Structure 1
């Protein structure tokens, strides 16, 4: 008789995030959109371990953190910015309008959920773009 452990075939969002190199917020978004083999139990997404990395499935799998230039870590505290000011220009220009909006929405959700601990949402600029600020560090 074989010892079959069904728990060896499933994973949570954090494990999927590590395995695929995608943010937990983005994984949850894909689960909600039914683009992954996943089931929500209570407030937790359970995913099958035996599925392809979603970023390999579609060009639309754009991670804000993958587009952000390294400059974000070097910005002094108190600096305000729009997302497109930090993205490598060639990468931003190559995106369609809907992809830019998608990246913006993902980044915004990640900031509000605390995934970007050193960034805070300030509000909307006159051009209706979201404005963010590098938080002041207390040392």
Structure 2
């Protein structure tokens, strides 16, 4: 396996642990705008890169908080 393949495997593993706001909205049955507010306020584990929020997949639903 060359470096490019290793990098792609690593990135695939990382991305499988993350959700977009759209995916989180569907999973948690909350509006996408509400998910973005939760991200901005730090109430859910997320990081913003550019205009996109990346949300940690394996965390409790904000409905349970």
Structure 1: unaligned runs, 5 residues or longer? 58-139
Instruction: Name the structure with the higher helix share.
Output: 2
Deviation at 1:7, TM superposition (A): 1.0
Match of 1:45, SS state, is strand
User: CA offsets per residue over residues 2-40 of structure 1, 9 Å max, x none?
Assistant: x66111100100000000000000000000000010000
User: Which of 22, 25, 49 is the equivalent residue of 1:14?
Assistant: 22
TM-score (norm 1): 0.38
Structure 2: unaligned runs, 5 residues or longer? 1-8
Aligned to 2:64: 56
Q: Greater RCO between the two (CA within 8 Å, min separation 6)? A: 2
Q: Which runs of 4+ in 1 moved over 6 A?
A: none
| Structure of larger gyration radius | 1
